Structure 1
């Protein structure tokens, strides 16, 4: 009996294993259910293509102040954050050396002028002597050699007189340069604005730009109009155009977003890691902030074209934020919008070789691959080749190959990208959990 029980138990176990394997392999019992998938209807939506980039805030206009001459700062009239007007005295360098040089040049001018007067007298005297000798020579009273000697002396006197005049001009030019050097010890504000950066202190020595690069002493900026400068990859910058609208988020104001507009796209790229596998090519793009900010700097609200924005553009009862140079943030640039576009979720589109029914076509290059979707035809998946257009963060435009209302397989990813084949049986399941997508947008 014990042997019979062992044999019966072994047969039952084998039958259970065969039944489980047969059901899993689709030999019997539920094989007609097919692959479980999720599906969603293709719908007409408004698709906006967005390019996202990161960067920092900066003033639209900012001037770097460097001295033209070297010296010690003996007077500093501003502090960082102070507002200045055009023509205000910002600082003064010690003028002693330049004052002494000016006095030396004034003395040189006086000496050159005295020398010119002396040469003028010599020229007058030699001219008179030359005229007398010429008259005597014409009367054949003196020999030719004496006349030629008088003529040569006169020519020399004229040359010395001309040289004296040039010396006066040179001394005057040197004097003017000395005056300018002395005047440059006083540094004035080239425009009205705010001292956004101050890098020097009273008593510090600075180097002039006439000698080398020069010391950057401070920066003056117009903080009433800020912009974001972001780096956009070379693959995305071709989609960006001046005037494109943007949404700007500043890290310091996580609960706010600002309207922006693209004002400038660089022609030259910034290349990092050049010559390595990590080489990245980006193009700087500037986005003007259109919403009110930095009211203490005299800000007015600006519209898309730089004019005054309308009242409905403002956020009521919300103080304008203070955006400082260097604040980091993200920018979403709306590059293109298509209305009433037939669209499907991005994950519904995959790349397949539409002629993969033989081994030869499977060995084709990537150029033979096509974008396709799988349409749910009842309980059967049908492959459809599609032409796609722009995409946003959730949907992609289908320009050809699909009609609104057709059910398109959207998941799971493994089924869409690898498992599904044309004509394969499927079972449409409802998405589970909070990630379920709504049918309309």
Structure 2
């Protein structure tokens, strides 16, 4: 082979390599390979997802009001009970003795009331006698006073001697002293009546105290038998036969068991502070319990807490959540049935057996927009429109085209955009977004539906892809 031919062949290979490199760097007619999806028109529903645990909507912790040994235990964990059923008994011997002692104290106090009332009767009789004596003394004093007046008149007329006048005066003084003594006797008798009446009141107070003690002793005796306060299932049993329990009368006592209504279940979840503002009472929900992954339940939000639960407070890892309660509807029931508590005693529809403490995930449907233009969430990115305008002017100047004389602001102008594939080129469109679901986001302005939007690769969309770049799909 001649040297000239070798040179020509080398130049040909070099030309092929240069063309390949140019096509690779410039995108060529084929362009950058991208992932795409269609902007569709459909209903989009915003969801708030959180995890939590199953709990009974109505669960009662049962404790004993009295202390003692359990001598009878009628239930086991998981048993179904009806309101009023006997659950257990605490040994009543001590409380029976106290009740007998209290009844004896009532009888003694009542006897004291009788004695005090007898004393009042006697004192009242003494008052009547003293008043009769006073009446007689008053009559005698009046008689002697009249006699003294007559003798004084006779003496003044020199008809009667001085001896008769002195005798009349002496009789009057004796009668007056007797009247004063009788009046003091009446006062003393009345004082004795008042004192006896005070003893009656004191005795009656003692009777009331004794009766109160008897009632308390009777109540404590009755409290040795513990009955079911509601119909439900024994969800937790904490004691055994023969175990001693501490009463709750004066301290935190022993929790004996819990009774729950397993036909009225809820899911208690913690919703992040950024999401809880979108949740409202009555929002429908989809619930998946980990133990039943193939059986989705329906529910409704019935309670949103006003107080937050803060984890790792005071640190950079602090997380603020708000407890939200979702009432579960019976299997096959409409979600509106979950907005009201089921009636007690009405059997629930067949479905998965839920137990308090089971874990699961809740998707709360907070808002729905019909006929919305939606694209995959990853299709929406952000661009600095000031930097985009600078790049556009640089390209125009490189091509010798005229550029505007207006100044571009120094700060950033970040806006949300979507890149649409049009005739093999990337066309950047500013968009206004709305709500999102798990995979898509609503486009309120900027798209009409049916466009082919670029969804990836992520790195390309995030920083590299620009208006007018040649693009292609892997189809």
TM > 0.5 fold call: yes
The equivalent position to 1:327 in structure 2, one of 358, 361, 372, is 358
Equivalence for 2:38: 41
The equivalent position to 1:206 in structure 2, one of 218, 239, 245, is 245
Change (3 A) 1:255 1:411: same
Counting only pairs closer than 5 Å after superposition, residues 199-238 of structure 1 correspond to structure 2 as 199-238=238-277
Equivalence for 1:74: 71
State whether residues 71 and 242 of structure 2, in contact with CA within 8 Å, keep that contact through their aligned partners in structure 1: yes
Once the two structures are overlaid, the 10-residue window that deviates more, 166-175 or 33-42, is 33-42
- Higher radius of gyration, 1 or 2: 2
1:336 and 1:116 mapped to 2: Cα distance? 76
- Deviation string 1:328-371 (CA, Å, 9 cap, x unpaired) is 1112222222111011111111123323345974644xxx5322
Counting only pairs closer than 5 Å after superposition, residues 38-437 of structure 1 correspond to structure 2 as 38-137=35-134, 139=138, 141-143=179-181, 144-292=183-331, 302-306=333-337, 320-356=351-387, 357=389, 361=409, 363-364=411-412, 368-421=413-466, 423-430=467-474
Change (3 A) 1:30 1:90: closer
2:226 and 2:471 mapped to 1: Cα distance? 79
**Counterpart secondary structure, 1:171:** helix
Change (3 A) 1:30 1:204: closer
State whether residues 426 and 471 of structure 2, in contact with CA within 8 Å, keep that contact through their aligned partners in structure 1: no
- Unaligned stretches of 5+ residues in structure 1: 293-300, 308-317, 432-441
Change (3 A) 1:361 1:181: farther
2:410 and 2:120 mapped to 1: Cα distance? 103
- Deviation string 1:127-185 (CA, Å, 9 cap, x unpaired) is 22233334544636233544433332222221111111111111111111110010000
State whether residues 353 and 362 of structure 1, in contact with CA within 8 Å, keep that contact through their aligned partners in structure 2: no
**Counterpart secondary structure, 2:64:** coil
- Aligned-pair distance for 1:31? 5.1
- Aligned-pair distance for 1:323? 1.9
1:171 and 1:424 mapped to 2: Cα distance? 99
Change (3 A) 1:40 1:302: closer
Change (3 A) 1:30 1:158: closer
2:462 and 2:193 mapped to 1: Cα distance? 104
- For these two proteins, the number of residue pairs brought into alignment is 398
- Aligned-pair distance for 1:33? 5.3
2:45 and 2:102 mapped to 1: Cα distance? 70
2:265 and 2:419 mapped to 1: Cα distance? 48
**Counterpart secondary structure, 1:285:** strand
Change (3 A) 1:20 1:203: farther
TM-score by length of 2: 0.76
2:265 and 2:236 mapped to 1: Cα distance? 15
TM-score by length of 1: 0.82
**Counterpart secondary structure, 1:371:** strand
